[in-house]
Amino acid sequence: MLRTVLPRLAALFLAAVHLVVLSAPPAAAQRNIAIVRDAEIEALISEYARPILKAAGLARSGIDIVLVNDRSFNAFVAGRRIFIHTGTLTDAETPNEIIGVIAHEAGHIAGGHQERLRQQIQRAQTMAIVAALVGIGAGVAGAASKSGGLAQAGVGIAAGGAEVARRGLLGYQRSEEATADRTAIDYLNATGQSAKGMLTTFERLAGGLALAGVNVDPYQISHPMPRERIANLQEVARKSLHFDRKDPPQLQLRHDFMRAKIAAYTQGANAVTRLFRSDPRGLAARYGDAISTYLHGNPGAALKKADALVAELPRNAYLQELRGDILIKANRPLDAANAYAKAIALAPGRPGLLQVGYGQALMATGKPDLVKKAASELQTGLSREPEFANGYRYLAQAYGQLGDIPAAELATAEGHFHSGQYRDAKLFALRAQKQLKPGSPGWLRAQDIIQYKQPG
Ligand SMILES: [Zn+2]
């Protein structure tokens, strides 16, 4: 299941930096900001990124990839996170195009670009930066589209805004772009991958800029693409040994499944049809169709479509996950739990997100022994995905059903904590602590939440 969740405050403001670039007014833009959580997409993107980050010497730096629910093309680095818009993923026809973008962003990280902005972001008050960046974002949009209205809206809000933000948001220097391109090609060569996807992507974006209207992708603004940059890139990329190497067919299929899923969830059935116009009965088109039917149609029909796909791809974990989602909707929690259990067994590394789905289904059965199992599955799932704030709500429900009120209150406290709602978190942690044995693990965790001080 693809879920869009509101990020924690820190992520929210970092995402806001680029997200709002082309959408004013800021208040409306902020409403739209959401992070996408999905086991299938996250597994694929981290597979794309792993060898590149290793080649860049960043494998141990704990770089996280965060998916932002936004139709435009954008990818950017903030601190230790690489943010990628879902629109970037659906626009890319091949895995290699996304791998190229990740290689370029890794080049910026390894090169220490925008270092000053990052340091200043760490020091400044969060909300001050949000206000400044949102305002400047709108200003940049106005400048890009040559429409005075937007620019003026931006200037008003940015009036007290920081110089920092201006310098950072206006993007990388041309010299930094050239460095990141060259470094990216080194990483691609070192990992035996083609630089063609990166070239295709940047050519497409550079072409788009020439026709610039209001819908310029934010990426084009932060990553300047003058003609000579593209020309240099063409020359160097074509020299690479692996230029004509294609992505393995299995990877291409997973890529198309990802695009089908994002299209079905964020834009609906017609978007899936458009995306796979050239192969309307192919596996990816049918996957998107099954998801659309699950989301907007009858669960029985969706289940038939999912089962037909399972018959062709019996080892695909995420088809089992889809079956679980459908069976929950069909009010068959026990069958759903079995489907999620299969998904977990088939997915490498027991993804915490799948475990949360499993726990939810077990809880929905209402059978005391299964609810007990639900609590322990949710607990382990969340220990792997501690920032998945929604999951704590189910955990609290499970403990509630089991009559363990202090544990339910502690889970609620965790949920608020990981959503950045510290006041509510402390309230529930205090209530939990009063009923817990002093010094027990739950009591200590409650204490951590009570004593937590927000950075900055
Ligand atoms: Zn760049």
Residue 260 has pLDDT above 90, yes or no: yes
Cα of 180 from ligand 1 centre, angstroms = 6
**What whole-number distance in Å separates Cα of residue 79 and Cα of residue 77?**
6
Cα of 438 from ligand 1 centre, angstroms = 52
**What whole-number distance in Å separates Cα of residue 228 and Cα of residue 446?**
57
Cα of 5 from ligand 1 centre, angstroms = 27
pLDDT at 83: 82
Cα of 172 from ligand 1 centre, angstroms = 6
Residue 250 has pLDDT above 60, yes or no: yes
Q: What tokens appear for 189 in the block?
A: 């060569």
Cα of 413 from ligand 1 centre, angstroms = 40
**What is the pLDDT confidence band of residue 213, given thresholds at 50, 70 and 90?**
low
The phi, psi pair for 233, rounded to 5°, reads: -60, -45
Cα of 191 from ligand 1 centre, angstroms = 20
Q: Are 82 and 66 spatial neighbours (Cβ–Cβ below 8 Å)?
A: yes
Cα of 176 from ligand 1 centre, angstroms = 7
List all residues 6 or more positions away from 423 whose beta carbon is below 8 Å from its beta carbon. Answer: none
Mean pLDDT of 445-452: 96
**What is the pLDDT confidence band of residue 117, given thresholds at 50, 70 and 90?**
low
Cα of 103 from ligand 1 centre, angstroms = 10
DSSP secondary structure of 96-132: HHHHHHHHHHHHHHHTTTTHHHHHHHHHS-HHHHHHH
- Over residues 154-194, the pLDDT tens digits come to 333 333 334 434 444 446 777 888 899 999 999 999 999 99
**What is the pLDDT confidence band of residue 138, given thresholds at 50, 70 and 90?**
very low
Cα of 171 from ligand 1 centre, angstroms = 8
**What is the pLDDT confidence band of residue 141, given thresholds at 50, 70 and 90?**
very low
**All domains in the chain, ordered by first residue:** 1-121+172-238 (no CATH), 323-399 (1.25.40), 404-456 (no CATH)
In percent, the amount of the chain with pLDDT more than 90 equals 57
pLDDT at 63: 77
Cα of 221 from ligand 1 centre, angstroms = 10
Residue 237 has pLDDT above 80, yes or no: yes
| C-alpha distances out from residue 446 to 248, 285, 433, Å | 48, 47, 6
**What whole-number distance in Å separates Cα of residue 101 and Cα of residue 199?**
9
Residue 171: left (phi > 0), alpha (psi -120 to 50), or beta? left
pLDDT at 137: 42
pLDDT at 446: 97
* Bond from prior residue into 406 cis (ω within 30 degrees of 0): no
Q: What tokens appear for 160 in the block?
A: 């007290």
- Over residues 266-284, the pLDDT tens digits come to 999 999 999 999 999 999 9
pLDDT at 153: 31
